[in-house]
Structure 1
Amino acid sequence: MPLHGLIHQDFVALDFETATTDRNSACAVALVKVQNDGIVHRAFRLIRPPTSEFRFTHIHGITWADVRHEPTFEEIWPELVQLTDGAFFYAAHNAAFDRSVLHACCKTYNLSVPQTPFVCTMQLARRCWRLRPTRLPDVCRYLGIDLQHHDAASDAEACARIVLAARRDAL
């Protein structure tokens, strides 16, 4: 999506953490809604994935014990998707990953797959500031954004702030 398409559009930044390499193994999700260039809502939920297998606890700190009594994606998505009403796009860092997790989770539970386009904040940082490397911690350091990497709420907030910084710098 061209940068000019970002200017003054409402959006939702989102981030997933997964238990395994299976894209439908989301164990956490965070959404940050931006309207009129300001953050208006934040949501974070732990998710019980389809199996109890966890391979990425060393990355995000989430275990099966943390989520075994939490709702499934099927149970939380209808509530969370309401937060995306009016969003022109979703923003995510390495958006292909988060898009694939969202789509896999929706398909696993026979939920409607959102058709909302994604904007990748990694690609946005490369275009807007010519940054390399563009891992989320690198971009946040450059922009002075606080980050607790691999905490879904912190990652989603950082993505929202990256888009807002790109808007500011593009004006």
Structure 2
Amino acid sequence: MTTFVALDFETADHGRDSTCSVGLIRVEDDQVVHRVHYLICPPRASFRFTHIHGIRWQDMADQPTFGERWAAIQPLLQGAAFLAAHNASFDKGVLYACCDLYDMPRPVQSFACTVQLARQTWNLRSTKLPHVCAYLGIELEHHQALSDAEACARIILAVHQS
């Protein structure tokens, strides 16, 4: 299998540019070769989703912005054939909005959506991440970006082995 990167964003508010956490898992030759999690200071102090992911403005105020984190994130994406996310339209939207906000080029890779792949591969009707993980026996700390990204990578690998 080719190299890919699974990613997951958590956001602070309804704006796609409000990422406050990102998990990235790089897979090469069916092996996880790099795991990284970054906290990111969003462009606004309005946190609407703390009840989902537990992240508060107080936790973020001193963290680097997405623009400052990009120098560490971008090299992980280099050479990847595709990016993968669970409900990829959301994570793609967040990634693109953050790149646009900081006037950085968007990654060129296409996105694979593990929601769609789970439906197609195993005919699952409840394709929420916890349900797909339970079906495949994947451990998950839902809404923790690194755990969600790792689960997504494991789903891609399971699809590849099917």
Tell me the residue number matched to 2:143: 150
Give the Cα–Cα distance (whole angstroms) in 2 for the partners of residues 86 and 23 of structure 1: 25
After superposition, give the CA deviation of every residue in 1:51-82 in whole Å (9 maximum; x if it has no partner).
Answer: 11000000000000111000000000121110
Query: Match of 2:94, SS?
Result: helix
Query: Match of 1:23, SS?
Result: coil
Give the Cα–Cα distance (whole angstroms) in 2 for the partners of residues 167 and 122 of structure 1: 15
Does residue 90 in structure 1 map to residue 83 in structure 2? Answer: yes
Does residue 69 in structure 1 map to residue 69 in structure 2? Answer: no
* Residue ranges of structure 2 left out of the alignment (5+ in a row): none
Tell me the residue number matched to 2:23: 30
The structure 1 segments of at least 4 consecutive aligned residues displaced by more than 6 Å after TM superposition are none
Structure 1 residue 9: Cα displacement: 1.4
Structure 1 residue 106: Cα displacement: 0.4
Amino acid of the residue matched to residue 23 of structure 1?
R
Structure 1 residue 147: Cα displacement: 0.3
* Matched ranges for 1:99-138 at <5 A: 99-138=92-131
* Matched ranges for 1:39-78 at <5 A: 39-78=32-71
Structure 1 residue 85: Cα displacement: 1.4
Query: Match of 2:25, SS?
Result: strand
Structure 1 residue 40: Cα displacement: 0.3
* Residue ranges of structure 1 left out of the alignment (5+ in a row): 1-7
Give the Cα–Cα distance (whole angstroms) in 2 for the partners of residues 77 and 141 of structure 1: 33
Tell me the residue number matched to 2:5: 12
- What TM-score comes out, normalization by structure 2 length? 0.99
Amino acid of the residue matched to residue 80 of structure 1?
I
Amino-acid identity (%): 56
Query: Match of 2:154, SS?
Result: helix
**Cα root mean square deviation, aligned:** 0.5
Match of 2:132 among 123, 134, 139: 139
After superposition, give the CA deviation of every residue in 1:15-36 in whole Å (9 maximum; x if it has no partner).
Answer: 0000001000000001000000
Structure 1 residue 10: Cα displacement: 0.9
Does residue 159 in structure 1 map to residue 144 in structure 2? Answer: no
